[in-house]
Amino acid sequence: MATLFRQTIGAKSSPDLNWENPDVRAAVHDVMNFWIDRGACGYRMDVINMISKVQSFPDAEPILGSDAKYHPGWKYFVNGPRMHEFLQEINRKVLAPRNAITVGEMPGVSDIHEVIHVDNEKGKVRFTLQDWTVSDVAQIVNRWQCAMTEHDGWNSVFIKNHDNPRSVSCFTDDSDAFRTYGAKLLSLMQTTLSGTLFVYQGEELGMRNMPRSWDPDEYKDIEAINFWKKSRALYAHDPEKLAYQKTILQRKARDHARTPMQWDSSPNAGFCDDGATPWMRVNDDYRNINAEMQIAPKSEADEISVFHFWQHGLAKRKAHAKSLIYGYFQLVEPQHEHVFAYVRAEKKQGEDSGEKWLVALNFSGKKVEWDVPAHLKVQSWVAGNYINGKVEKGRTMKVELKAWEGVLGACQ
């Protein structure tokens, strides 16, 4: 009797579809058309570059050593031989006829030419902690902002999705003292970068990670469950290492992005009726961080909410689209320890006409004296994440930036 196998790149309960089968592809197209016909404007396609596999299904090379049970096999199921064929078929049979928008998640792709080829197509334990620097952020943003301009491509601008911890907790200080400033800092950065901007649910409120006091049993994502199960097996007799593994879980788990949306201060944060049980526990801070509180009108004396700051940033982005969306990016002082600064301009460097903006972001919890480069003449500071978005700074060549402060300046 023949033995049958099924391929599961993800969870065991989620077998991969056989895209080699034309009937399977037709069924996928039918589902996509079903929702577009009912008003969906497009799709976010998860790990879409894993739909084509090498059909000989070879074993992965033992690159992790003879002691490892499993080895990376990415080259056999990522960016497979028929990937472009399948994507073009989706475009031809579903997307193009209905003028639908799509964005694809494509892990394992880092070469700019691979990215552009898709973009411009005609018609040990999984969790680890890694320190990062402001310079790292600056170099990554600079690489992709410039690469897309130079190769006539287009960026997806985001720092948060359902697979990552909350951005305000990951990149800034999410304490009660600085959470609002950190969330606004990240908003100022994203609304001044080229590309299509994606704001993840709760990001516009500055929602943060689940409290560290929560027990690992509160985590529901299979990745987190497997990580903690394996950690307890490996370090059952080493409390110090197990505590470190718990810290990793608390900082890296995808569950942080999946807590129920915090609509108001009622039970369950207004996500579901009182007495109902949501799929996972609502963050304890929902009474102080929720949509109802943030969308409420404020007096001029009150500090504007993260939500209203996003609104102001998006309005400015649209009003100055030629420079802030479609313009040129120039990194300023790439090796600064605390400040990520860049210029957004309507024209290329050396051309005098057109709008020009300076963005300076202090990614630290300390006050910084930052020197404005001599070749940049700031005419006025027009936005910032302190004092209701108004910036009270002189036009000197030295600017004092408070902890987690970001400013936007109009240049001559």
Q: Is 46 labeled as catalytic in the residue annotation? A: yes
Name 215's Cβ contacts closer than 8 Å, sequence gap at least 6. Answer: none
Contact predicate 248/128, CB 8 Å: yes
For Cα atoms 229, 233, 238, give the angle at the middle one, nearest 5 degrees: 120
Residue appearing with tokens 């985001």: 158
For residues 400 and 113, give the distance between their C-alpha atoms in angstroms, rounded to a whole number: 40
3-state secondary structure the chain: CCCCCCCCCCCCCCCCCCCCCHHHHHHHHHHHHHHHHCCCCEEEECCHHHCCCCCCCCCCCCCCCCCCCCCCCHHHCCCCCCHHHHHHHHHHHHHHHHCCEEEECCCCCCCHHHHHHHHCCCCCCCCCCCCCCHHHHHHHHHHHHHHHHHCCCCCEECCCCCCCCCHHHHHCCCCCCCHHHHHHHHHHHHCCCCCEECCCCCHHHCCCCCCCCCCHHHCCCHHHHHHHHHHHHHCCCCHHHHHHHHHHHHHHCHHHHHCCCCCCCCHHHHCCCCCCCCCCCCCHHHHCCCHHHHHCCCCCCCCCCHHHHHHHHHHHHHHCHHHHCCCEEEEECCCCCCEEEEEEECCCCCCCCCCEEEEEEECCCCCEEEECCCCCCEEEEEEECCHHHCCCCCCCCEEEECCCCEEEEEEC
Degrees, nearest 5: CA angle 209-211-216: 100
Q: Which of 46, 218, 221, 264 is catalytic?
A: 46
Among 105, 173, 218, 221, which one carries the catalytic annotation? 105
The encoded tokens of residue 409 equal 């300046």
Task: Name the pairing type of β-strands 42-45 and 101-104.
Answer: parallel
Active site residue 355: no
| Catalytic (active-site) positions | 46, 105
